Amino acid sequence: MKAVLLQRFGKPEALQLSEIEKPVANDDQVLIKVIAAGINPVDAKIRSGLHSSCKDLKLPAILGKDVSGQIEYAGGNVVDFKVGDEVFGCINGSYSEYVAASPETIVKKPANTSFTEAAAISLAGLTAYQAIHEQLGLKEGQKILIQSAAGGVGHLAVQFAKLRGAFVYGTASAKNAAFLKELGVDEVINYKEQKFEDIATDPDAVLATMGGEILYRAISIVKPGGKIVCLPSSTKDDPVAIKLAKEKNIELIWPMMRPDKEQLQLFATLLEKKDLKVKVESVYPLNKIVSAHKAIESHSVSGKIVLQIAGDLLQNRKSG
C-alpha cells in the first residue's frame, strides 16, 4: 500500500510517498480503507522534531491522527462495526491507504457528512471541546476570547462555546469576518486593524493560540480568577506569562488532548443534526503531501486541510 513516511525530522521535504506492507488487523481491531486524512499543525511540529513526542518516535514513521474511511475487515471480537461501515476517528498513522484500529478510536460517519468533513473533525474537535468544557469549564453567560477563531481548532471552539451559551469574541482577518458571524461569534475582532484588548475588555476565559507579547496582552484582560488555555506548548515555561498570571490569579492551562469515543460520538450526532459545521479549506492528493505541509505552516489556513487518499471514493461522496 502507499503511505507517507517521515524518514528524518526536518522540512516538509522529509515526507516521502512510499510503498509499504498493508497492516494486518487482529481479532480486536478493524482494518480501515482510508478515504481521507486530516492534517493538523501538530503534524508539522512532529515532522520538524519540535514536539515532545518526537523523543519516543521511531523513524521511519507514518504521521497523521485524523481519519475517515470504510471498514474492510472486522476482527472476530469486534461487535459494534462490520465490513462496509463508514467511520471516522482519531488514529495514529492516517497518512496511508490502510490503518488497523481499535473500535474505541472510531465512530460511524453520519450519512449527511462527507469523508472530507469527517476527516477534519477528530483531533481539532477533541482539542476544542475539551478546552471549552473541561479545561475552561465555560458556563452559560460567560465571555470568552477565542484567538485564531477561523482556524481548525478555533472555528470548532466557537461553535462549542455558543452551544454552551457563552458570549464569544473572535480574532481573525477581515476576510474571515463573515464566516465567523455565520458561526455565531458575537464580536469579530480584525487583529490586523484592532487590538483585541480594546474590545474584549472583560472575558472570563481565553483560548490562546499565540505566545509572547500576544499571550501577555491576553492575560492582562482576563477577569481575576479566570482561565486561559494555551495551545502552543512552547509557551509552557515562559516565566513572564507565569508571573503575570499569578499576579492576577489567572490559571494558565496547557492542554493534552486525549482520544474520547463518547466525544467523537457527540460530534457525529451534532454533524448529523447540522448543529456543527466543519470547514475544509483545501484538499490535497497524497502525492502532494509536501505542499500540504507547507500550507499548514503558513498560519493562514481557515478551517482544515485534508489529504485525499482514495480518490475514487472521495469526490464529495456522501453515504446514502
Considering the domain architecture, whether residues 103 and 88 belong to the same structural domain is answered as yes
Instruction: Kindly state whether residue 62 falls inside one of the protein's structural domains.
Output: yes
- What range does the domain containing 147 cover? 124-253
Structural domain contains residue 215: yes
CB 273 within 8 A of CB 113: no
Helix, coil or strand: residue 70: strand
Q: Is residue 247 domain-shared with residue 134, that is, in the same domain?
A: yes
Q: Which pLDDT belongs to residue 236?
A: 86
Distance CA 146, CA 157 (A): 8
Regarding whether 130 and 108 lie in a shared domain, the answer is no
pLDDT at site 54: 84
Q: Is residue 166 part of a domain?
A: yes
Would you call 218 helix, strand, or coil by DSSP?
helix
On whether both 102 and 209 belong to a single domain, the answer is no
**HSE toward the beta carbon, residue 23, CA cutoff 13 A:** 21
What's the confidence (pLDDT) of residue 311? Answer: 66
Going from the C-alpha of 252 to that of each of 78, 228, 230, 236, the distances in angstroms are: 41, 5, 7, 9
Residues 6+ apart with CB under 8 A from 85: 70, 71, 108
Considering 253, 277, 296, which residue would you say is the last residue of a domain?
Answer: 253
Q: What is the mean pLDDT of each run of 10 residues along the chain (320 residues)?
A: 95 95 97 97 90 85 96 97 98 97 98 97 98 98 97 97 98 95 97 94 95 95 96 87 96 94 98 97 95 90 92 47
Q: Are residues 108 and 183 in the same domain?
A: no
User: What letter represents residue 34's amino acid?
Assistant: V
Q: What is the CATH number of the domain that holds 104?
A: 3.90.180.10
The reported pLDDT for the residue numbered 301 is 83
| 197 occurs within a structural domain | yes
Total domains, the chain: 2
H-helix segments, 151-195: 152-163, 177-183
- In a domain? residue 128: yes
pTM, two decimals, is: 0.94
Q: Are residues 248 and 301 in the same domain?
A: no
